[in-house]
């Protein structure tokens, strides 16, 4: 089984990487990009039968800084 954790900065948290990408796109001549938010994707290869609550605990204890980040979880 796989667990896909998508981590993004919460709304209102400054995203300097996103701003740098937005600026670079403009310099390269791409118009119409009003904003960029950059995040990360963590793919976990988990044993069959691993409970979703266990993966949520992994996120809350290590993978996600809950003060500034939020996440979504997909178990495949």
Give the closest residue to 57 by CA, choosing from 1, 11, 3.
Answer: 3
Alpha-carbon gap, residue 9 to 53, rounded angstroms: 22
Residue range(s) defining the domain that contains residue 21: 2-75
State mean pLDDT over 45-67. 97
pLDDT for the residue 76: 93
pLDDT for the residue 15: 97
Assign residue 20 the CATH number of its domain.
3.30.1280.10
pLDDT for the residue 43: 98
* Confidence (pTM): 0.88
Q: Where are the beta strands (DSSP E) in the chain?
A: 2-9, 40-45, 69-75
pLDDT for the residue 62: 98
Domain count of the fold of the chain: 1
State mean pLDDT over 50-71. 97
**9-40 residue pLDDT tens:** 999 999 999 999 999 999 999 999 999 999 99
């Amino acid at each position: 089984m796989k667990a896909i954790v998508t981590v993004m900065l919460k709304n209102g948290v400054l995203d300097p990487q996103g701003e740098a990408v937005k600026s670079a796109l403009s310099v390269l001549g791409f118009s119409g990009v009003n904003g960029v938010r950059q995040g990360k994707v963590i793919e976990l290869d988990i044993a069959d039968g691993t409970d979703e609550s266990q993966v949520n605990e992994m996120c809350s204890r290590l993978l996600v800084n809950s003060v500034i980040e939020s996440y979504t979880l997909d178990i495949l």
